[in-house]
């Protein structure tokens, strides 16, 4: 059975499987920004586990700590009993992340996945306010369990619920109605809150991503976030930032909302918070809202100590302020590269989207971005699409990637764009659109 | 910071934390059925991570395989891309578990927690049948996210939702109305299905645990399960067995439903399926029902390769039929011990509950079982309560525990019972009640 | 167009029409218990507008008052402005009905239909208690709007909603599980309330009919009602009696619940409260619960003054205690007649159901009762079926019907039973079943 | 008891009563546009039963027919059995209203109130499309039962439900976001339908009033209605026009949507359809959508024959095309009068709202319109406010009102405005705003 792993998977795994369809090869090893398949073929990873591998694969310091811990028979599974590993993580998270940012959140371990932290945030917001509705935004993505799915925009995913999804109201995200114009979607939101005949009641919370990863790399403007924050304060609505994908450095700062100068009531973290790709999630709670009864929300894997070990080690990156700077500098390179691509290849009718290490190109040509990713895979680059029509190809390299890796990735992307233009027989238009 | 871990936790962790309150010590190491705290004090673990550590802590074979894999830079996080580790797990799970039991389930990886597999099962059942309602049972426990919580009985947990929980109907579990009598709760259920004026429509699915772990170690009789299965078939209702806690050997067979000779349409597995206490969950699906669209349900940590490695190794236990036999033999010892306790200490007004390695004593004396667990902790035994009023103390040793460990545990439990009787000043009644 | 009215109706009226299918003739006139069709054929009415014509058709005293009022240009439509007609109704209702029965309800006019009073009752119960769930019973019928439909049992009607019906829990009505045995459905209900893991929360209210008219003439025993009342008090649950069909004398007393000696928190009245078959509904509210804000529930036709005029006149019947006595005496005759039928014609496998002037025979033979009604119509008697499978034929004469009319109806029913037995070729069984 | 009717009402009627608070007098008689109280004081009625008395009070032709019918012992109550009165109404409604307008609706009698026709429309739309969501608009008002309330905007009314209101999405009505600007709320709606990540699924139906009566006399522009109709067609969404208040001539044509040249799939009628203020409602259904099962929606008072008699007579008005013309001519007078008032009394910061015989003035001064209505009442004019903050005073005279009555009403309104300005000490601003 050393061969034919793909057949085994096809035979035994449910047809719900998806990425194996886009990347039909069997991966065996990985280090940093590189992955290898069973035949030893090397791939550059511009996907990073959809944001769960911000520090790359099998980062050596974390790896060392993890192996030592295992060899030592450190506690592996602890529910929410006290362990040294957990306490050390809490302490370091406070010292390195919260305190320097003037944040004093309580940390909840809600179960180790993104959808779990979102569910816990929604439950708490409803419990604390006594209200039932939550406002979410178009093209938001928050998870697959019924509570989180109710605030997720994607219609295919929503239909998967098999029941009507309730207790949520969807509002237009920044620039939703018309990307190029300035019509302020928040004026709209405010009218709904303001008019007692609008049919929209004051919600328990507003939940959003500052950059919508799955939804198509839509990045809210800082002033929009600021204004939203003011609206929440004005109406006594809790502000929940789902930083599962955009957090932990993905946008260039630890939390994605830092440059907007806001302080959400609840923050959802998962994906890269474990550092090594191990399941972990946190719900950060304004201490005044920490009104849970003991065990009112729980979960078997809320204490994943292997992830505490790697998460703690990962925080070391943030002790040095140069780290954030380095991400931001490389992010500029990504922007430059993408802007260049858009200008150089007008045939793809593309425009740059996103922010920091979550940028990409949205193409108005149906199927273009999917084809680029397919070509990239053949050239040895792993990259996925985003958006309701897969209209965006999305660069998600590790935030600690070496320059060399970045450049190599760019090169393969340009080749993939060129291939795609050729394959789709696209021509430069002479008229402007 | 090497000391005062408990203070750190109290300061920084949300007040939702719970087990740290019952077991207020800091654990650092564990092996097999033993745990040690930071002062080197040894504990016998009759809790086993609420069923997530059926093979004990840090089982040496799994540990070896896991360390090798990590050192080798094996893929850690893969979403649902193909990896060797995943394929090997799928293959062995099929060979060792499914095929010998004449089962041909497709395997879905729904995200690594129990609530995730339950949510995926409910979604699929609703999608496939086009119906919205699901029948669950009194005192069932299925998870903390809104979909799973809707089919969970516990009122404190339900209130935590902050919204009315809908699309579910709760029916009486076996012997719910009166434990000592034979009133058949399924006659009741059938009347509701049969009468078109009952207000209960034919549901998409019926979901249940064969032994309710959190609900108080209520074990459904095999004939009851059989009859329920027949009802499902008669009405075209999907049968979902949530084997998250009762599965993976906990009741003496790999699946808890084997002795009832039923073949559920969907099976939920998590907790001990990873073997080592690492987050993993499976949803097993009758192939005819595997109607998912690619990616219709997904999750960042659905491909946890560390857990695949340990899960694969854990399956080796099941290659030898003696393993099941050994669990069952020890389970008899547990029954004998508990029966003896009930008879020897009538003051506690106890009766034995549960099945296999999920047995315990329910005491009619308010607070008794909680006190037993508290005393046990002080004597160096970790054990928790179950049931809506914590009326049950629950023995959950590792299923591969050495005889010696089992005996030692029994000894500490008896001591704790005796202490409790003394502390609560209970006396033997001379009259029968 | 003086002829062919049925064609006009078929052409222009929606296919939702129903009674015109069972009684395919065009009615033109009616008086007391008699109706005439366009050809002058006379019918005896044992249907009474499904309980809206308890005083028969076009009762002469009410008719006189109504015509005078109209000729006088009395206010017809007033919303809830004050009118003399309304004030006089309120006064007389208090004097003649409430005060002598030691009841001090506040009267709400919720819109002139049964479903409206039920909706208002449910809204008030939820508002006052702050709880969302309502318990209703199997085979209960409360109306067709979404709130009332949610507490209605009939599956065909429920499916008509096109959405899942929520916020309600259906419990077994008296003798639901097994008509001949004594299994107490309230023991069952109490277990659900009592066990905090049952999945059923303490509801805002319990709503029921004391005799289920549409549901098959199921009459709850008085001791069952009494015990239910005690349960409501114990748990702080509001008791809502829907007396829309069973009230206004239909069971032999003004309110159907009088003989059970209970005092519901809220009572729903409609159908015969207007006296003359004119739309009117009342919601009677325990004064302590009358927490509505002005206009929080409203409706265009809540002040139907024509109905106030006839309703006031109708109350005169109740000034003389002999009236109730006369209903009860005739009800005995109905019971005797039906009992006799069941014994005389064992072929129909019938048993008597119901109470007072809402009795009938339920036949275990599929289609029997429908056929009896069909034959009765051909013989000049109007009578309908009830129950989820139309298994009951239902005698609903006017409560002031002359002896002669009753006897004539009995005669036609016996003829219809005999015809049906012959048509269905039923034979007396010699063996008992 | 001939005196003190108001005390009786206060003592016995629920505190939910509302109009009696604004108009604290006891009405006894009415004719045409006049009402009299118990002291013989005359009032001019510019309220018309909130649109239920479009033909004025006790219209003599209808009165005559009704009295004859009653004296003749015509059928009063018939559920949906066939009666001559019903057939004649159906025939004439087809001949006089539908056919000349090229409409071929099937007529459903859903129970005699506005909320009933709305509930039936929503149920049918969901049933026919298999979808659950319905889009409604800000400040829409559709009724008080749970289904209709779910699509009603008013927050006070919604809170009265005591449960979260689901399966509905509220969208901005024409000019909702900013009354003076041209931001097209339908562009917004379309974006939501168009983007598969918007969180808004394609609904079963869109329901709206063409002029929102309760919501503040907001009149949708015809081109907006037209565009909305096109959107419905494009997406396969059913268009439901709730013409309960705006229909039956209130805007100058029989149906309010006629000038927009649209043909809704379903139309809701009630209020003035009965002609005389008697409870009646119709649901008009595109024949292709008439997929009801017999009795799937029903109601005790769906066949109110007194209302059929007056409704049939009322249709005679529409046989003469001059009638519509006369309404429209008088509507121009109303517009002129109101425009004049706004200009003449800038102190009230008013602007004219509405269309046809449902026009009024919205004042930006808090409490102004309420005060105008109060003064008007004292001067002998009955008129109510509309809008979420009662910011509009609303002229709702009978559509057949004599010129004289109209003029008299205008005079009293102007006096009331002047009084109010004086009482509130409002001054003309010299600066423009």
ipTM: 0.97
DSSP string across C230-273: HHHHHHTPEEEEE-TTTTTTTTSSSSTTGGGT---SEEEE-GGG
Residue range D275-322, pLDDT digits in tens: 999 999 999 999 999 999 999 999 999 999 999 999 999 999 999 999
**Interface contacts A/C by beta carbons within 8 Å:** 3
Q: What is the pLDDT of residues A29-70, one digit of tens each?
A: 999 999 999 999 999 999 999 999 999 999 999 999 999 999
The yes-or-no verdict on residue C181 having pLDDT over 60 is no
Alpha helices in A197-268 (DSSP H): 222-235
Which chain D residues are closer than 8 Å to C290 by Cβ?
A: 14-16
- pLDDT of amino acid A1: 43
Residue D1 has a pLDDT of 43
Cβ proximity of C362 and C392 under 8 Å: yes
Q: What is the pLDDT of residue D433?
A: 45
- Touching subunits of B (3+ CB pairs, under 8 Å) are A, C, D
Residue A292 Cα, gap to closest chain C Cα (Å): 19
* Chain C neighbors of B167, CB-CB under 8 A: 164, 166
Q: Residue A370: its chain B contacts at CB < 8 A?
A: none
Contact assignment for D388 to A197 by CB distance below 8 Å? yes
Amino acid A338: pLDDT: 98
Chain D neighbours, 3+ Cβ pairs < 8 A: A, B, C
- On whether any CB of chain C is under 8 Å from the CB of D292, the answer is yes
- Sheet architecture: strand order including B350-355: B350-355, B358-363, B392-395, B384-386
With beta carbons under 8 A apart, name residues in chain C contacting A162. Answer: none
- Cβ atoms of residues D383 and D415 within 8 Å: no
- Model pLDDT for residues C309-356, shown as the tens digit of each residue: 999 999 999 999 999 999 999 999 999 999 999 999 999 999 999 999
Interface residue of D81, D115, D119 to substitute, partner C, most C CBs within 10 Å: D81
Q: How far is C81 from chain D (nearest CA, A)?
A: 4
pLDDT at C414: 98
Average pLDDT of chain D is 95
C387 vs B: CB within 8 A: yes
- C-alpha A56/C-alpha D116 separation (Å) is 61
Note whether A218 contacts D: Cβ–Cβ < 8 A. no
Whether C168 contacts chain B with CB within 8 A: yes
Which residues are bridge partners to B207 per DSSP?
B240
* Cβ distance of A164 and D132 shorter than 8 Å: yes
Q: How is the beta sheet containing D134-137 ordered, strand by strand? A: D106-108, D282-285, D266-269, D238-242, D205-208, D134-137, D168-171
- Element containing residue B352 per DSSP (H, E): strand B350-355
What pLDDT score does C180 carry?
A: 55
Q: Which ranges constitute the DSSP H helices of C93-214? A: 114-129, 146-149, 155-159, 185-194
Q: Any bridge partners for residue B108, and if so which?
A: B283
Neighbours of chain C (3+ CB pairs under 8 A): A, B, D
The 10s digit of each residue's pLDDT in D214-260 is 999 999 999 999 999 999 999 999 999 999 999 999 999 999 999 99
Query: Could you read off the pLDDT of D181-226 as tens digits, one per residue?
Result: 556 889 889 999 999 999 999 999 999 999 999 999 999 999 999 9
What pLDDT is stored for residue C1 in this prediction? 43
> C77 and chain B: CB distance < 8 Å anywhere?
no
Residues of D in contact with C26 (CB under 8 A): 82-84, 87
User: Which residue out of D197, D206, D217 would a mutagenesis test of the A interface target, given it has the greatest number of A Cβ atoms within 10 Å?
Assistant: D197
Of B155, B156, B164, the CB nearest to C167: B164
Output the six-digit token pair for B298: 């997904």
Nearest-Cα distance to chain B for D177, in Å, is 30
Contact A161 B123 (CB under 8 A): yes
Give residue-wise pLDDT tens across range D90-140: 999 999 999 999 999 999 999 999 999 999 999 999 999 999 999 999 999
List the single residue in A133, A200, A215 with the smallest CB-CB distance to D197. Answer: A215
Tell me the chain B residues in contact with residue A204 when contact means C-beta distances shorter than 8 Å.
Answer: 162
Entry pTM? 0.96
In the sheet that holds C168-171, the strands lie side by side as C106-108, C282-285, C266-269, C238-242, C205-208, C134-137, C168-171
**Residues of chain A whose pLDDT is less than 50?**
1, 432-433
Decide if B191 and C176 are in contact by the 8 Å CB cutoff.
Answer: yes
B164 at D interface, C-beta within 8 A: yes
Residue ranges in chain B whose pLDDT is less than 50? 1, 432-433
Contacts of D163 in chain B (CB under 8 A): 164
What value does the mean pLDDT take over residues C199-210? Answer: 97
Among candidates C154, C187, C197 on the partner chain, residue whose Cβ is nearest the Cβ of B197: C154
Residue B163, chain D, CB below 8 Å: the answer is yes
Calculate mean pLDDT across residues C159-179: 91
Residue C177 confidence class, pLDDT cut points 50, 70, 90? confident
Hey, is the C-beta of D195 within 8 angstroms of any chain A C-beta? yes
Q: Distance (Å) from the C-alpha of residue B188 to the closest C-alpha of chain D? A: 28
Q: Which residue of B has its CA nearest to A58?
A: B73
Sort out which chain D residues have CB atoms less than 8 A from C243's CB and list them: none
Chain B partners within 8 Å of C170 (Cβ):
169, 192, 198-200
D197 touches chain A (CB under 8 A): yes
Determine the Cα–Cα distance for residues D255 and C329; give it in Å rounded to an integer. Answer: 54
Residue D182 is predicted with a pLDDT of 58
Q: What is the reported pLDDT for C184?
A: 83
- Tell me if C171 sits within 8 A of C188, measured CB to CB: yes
Give the span between the Cα atoms of A298 and A189, in whole angstroms. 34
- What residues of A are in contact with residue B300 (Cβ under 8 Å)? 49-52, 113-114, 244, 270-271
Task: Report the gap between the CA of A163 and the closest CA in chain C (Å).
Answer: 8
In this complex, the chains that touch A, judged by 3 or more CB pairs closer than 8 A, are B, C, D
Rounded to an integer, the average pLDDT of D345-350 is: 97
Cβ separation of B163 and D163 shorter than 8 Å? no
Question: Binning pLDDT at 50, 70 and 90, where does residue C427 land?
Answer: confident
Q: Tell me how far apart the alpha carbons of residues C147 and D123 are, in angstroms, rounded to a whole number.
A: 13
Between CA B229 and CA B223 the distance in angstroms is: 10
Q: Considering only alpha carbons, which residue of chain A is nearest residue C130?
A: A130
D184 touches chain A (CB under 8 A): no
How many angstroms away from the CA of C351 is the closest CA of chain B?
Answer: 18
**Which of D153, D183, D191 minimises the CB distance to A197?**
D153
Which chain D residues in 318-357 lie under 8 Å from chain C, judged by CB atoms? Answer: none
Chain A residues within an 8 Å CB radius of C163: 164
Q: For residues A361 and A216, give the distance between their C-alpha atoms in angstroms, rounded to a whole number.
A: 9
pLDDT at A433: 45
**pLDDT at A184 (0 to 100):** 82
Q: Give the model's pLDDT for residue C271.
A: 98
For residues D393-422, give the mean pLDDT.
98
- Confidence band for D62, pLDDT divided at 50, 70 and 90: very high
B306 close to A (CB below 8 A): yes
- In chain D the domains, ranked by start, together with CATH numbers, are 5-58+326-432 (3.90.1150.10), 74-319 (3.40.640.10)
User: pLDDT above 70 covers what percent of chain D?
Assistant: 97
Q: Which candidate, B347, B354, B378, B350, places its Cα nearest to that of B363?
A: B350
* DSSP bridge pairs for A91: none
pLDDT above 70 coverage of chain C, percent = 97
Q: What is the dihedral of CA C23, C29, C35, C40, to 10 degrees?
A: -80
Question: Could you count the other beta carbons within 10 Å of the beta carbon of residue D206?
Answer: 26
The Cα C145–Cα C148 span in angstroms is 5
Contact status of B155 with chain C (Cβ, < 8 Å): yes
Q: Is A196 close to D155, i.e. CB distance below 8 A?
A: yes
Interface membership of B261 toward A (CB under 8 Å): no
Inter-chain CB proximity A163 and C163 less than 8 Å: no
Task: Return all residues near A41 (Cβ < 8 A) that are at least 6 apart.
Answer: A25, A380
Q: Does D15 touch chain B (CB under 8 A)?
A: no
Q: How many CB pairs under 8 A join A and B?
A: 390
B176 touches chain C (CB under 8 A): yes
Chain B nearest-CA distance from A130, in A, is: 7
């Amino acid at each position: 059975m050393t061969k034919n792993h793909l057949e085994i998977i096809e035979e035994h795994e449910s047809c719900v499987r998806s990425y194996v369809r886009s990347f039909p090869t069997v991966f065996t090893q990985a280090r940093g920004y590189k992955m290898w398949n069973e035949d030893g073929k090397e791939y550059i990873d511009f996907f990073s586990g959809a944001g769960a591998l911000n520090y790359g694969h099998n980062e050596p310091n974390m790896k060392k700590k993890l192996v030592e811990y295992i060899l030592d028979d450190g506690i592996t599974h602890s529910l929410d009993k006290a362990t040294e590993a957990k306490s050390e993580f809490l302490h370091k998270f406070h010292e390195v992340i919260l305190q320097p940012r003037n944040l004093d959140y309580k940390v909840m371990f809600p179960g180790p996945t993104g959808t779990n932290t979102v569910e816990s945030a929604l439950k708490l917001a409803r419990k604390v306010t006594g209200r039932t509705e939550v406002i979410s935004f178009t093209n938001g993505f928050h998870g697959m369990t019924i509570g989180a799915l109710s605030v997720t925009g994607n219609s295919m995913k929503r239909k998967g619920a098999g029941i009507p999804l309730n207790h949520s109201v969807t509002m237009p995200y920044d620039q939703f109605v018309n990307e190029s114009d300035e019509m302020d979607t928040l004026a709209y939101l405010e009218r709904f809150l303001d008019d007692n005949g609008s049919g929209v009641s004051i919600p328990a919370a507003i939940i959003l991503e500052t950059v919508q990863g799955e939804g198509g790399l839509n990045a809210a403007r800082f002033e929009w976030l600021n204004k939203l924050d003011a609206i929440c304060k004005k109406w006594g609505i809790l502000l929940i930032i789902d930083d599962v994908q955009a957090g932990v450095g993905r946008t260039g700062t630890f939390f994605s909302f830092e440059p907007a100068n806001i302080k959400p009531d609840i923050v959802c973290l998962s994906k890269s918070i474990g550092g090594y790709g191990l399941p972990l999630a946190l719900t950060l709670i304004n201490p005044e809202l920490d009104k849970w009864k003991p065990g009112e929300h729980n979960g078997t894997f809320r204490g994943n100590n292997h992830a505490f070990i790697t998460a703690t080690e990962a925080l070391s990156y943030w002790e040095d302020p140069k780290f954030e700077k380095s991400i931001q500098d490389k992010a500029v390179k990504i922007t430059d590269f993408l802007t260049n691509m858009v200008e150089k290849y007008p045939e793809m009718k593309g425009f740059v989207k996103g922010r920091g290490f979550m940028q990409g190109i949205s193409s108005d040509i149906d199927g273009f971005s999917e084809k680029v990713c397919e070509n990239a895979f053949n050239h040895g680059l792993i990259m996925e699409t985003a958006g309701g029509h897969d209209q965006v190809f999305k660069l998600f390299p590790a935030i600690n990637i070496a320059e060399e890796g970045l450049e190599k990735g760019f090169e393969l992307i340009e080749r993939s764009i060129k291939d795609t233009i050729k394959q789709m027989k696209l021509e430069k238009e002479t008229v402007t659109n």
